[in-house]
Amino acid sequence: MKVTRALLGTVAGAALILTAGAFDAFAQKKKKSRCKDGEAETVATYKVDKGENLPAAIAASLTGKPGNAEKGVKWMVHRRLGNCIACHQVTSILQRAKDDDLASLRKYGFHGKIAPTLDGVAERYTEAELRMIVVDIKQAFPDANSIMPSFHRNDGFTRVIGDCKGLAILTAERVEDVVAFLKTLK
C-alpha cells in the first residue's frame, strides 16, 4: 500500500511538473495578432474643407490618385476590415450573391438594415463628402450618434483590442477604393 501511494505521488508530481512546463511554454509562445489584415499604422495627411451637403469634406485623394471601384467592393464586404454590408444594404453587391452558391451568399448576400441603404449615395453626397464619411464619420456628421467607425483614424478610440491600438482600419489606398465604388452608386 505504501509503495502504491508513493508511486502515485511520484506520478502525480511528474504530471504536475510536465503540465506546468507545458503551460510555461504555451504562455511564452507569441500570441497571434487579431489585427492581421493590413491595418495601417499611419494615416494620410489631408485638408478638411466645408462640404456642399455636410460640414466637412476631403477634396483631394488621400493617395494622389483615384481608387479602384472593384477593389472597393472587396473592402466593403471584408468581414474584418470594411464590413459595410453588416449595417448597410447595397443592391449592386447583393446582386452578386447566387442562391445556389453558399460561398457567394456568405460573401455578398447578408446585408444589414441598421443604417441607411447606400443605393444612390453618390447622388446625395459629393466625392469629397464620401471620402470624409469613410475617413472620419464624426467630422462628417458631428451631431449624429453613429456606430459607424472612422476607417482612417488611428487614435481617439475607446475599447480597442490591445493588438489593434494605434492602427487605422483601412489604409489610404483602401479608402480611395471604397470611395471609387461609392461614386458608382447612383
Please identify every stretch of the chain with a pLDDT value under 50, giving residue numbers as ranges.
Answer: 7-8, 11-29
Give tens-digit pLDDT for 92-108.
Answer: 999 999 989 999 999 99
User: How far apart (Å, rounded) are the C-alpha atoms in residues 172 and 175?
Assistant: 5
Is the CATH number of domain 37-182 1.10.760.10? yes
C-alpha distance from residue 97 to each of 1, 55, 67, 77, 92 (Å):
70, 36, 24, 12, 10
Q: In sequence order, what are the residues at sequence separation of 6 or more whose Cβ sits closer than 8 angstroms to the Cβ of residue 121?
A: 130, 182, 185
- 64-96: pLDDT as tens digits: 999 999 999 999 999 888 999 999 999 999 999
The confidence score (pLDDT) of residue 155 equals 87
Query: For the chain, how big is the Rg over CA atoms in Å?
Result: 24
pLDDT score recorded for residue 6: 53
| Domain ranges for the chain | 1-30, 37-182
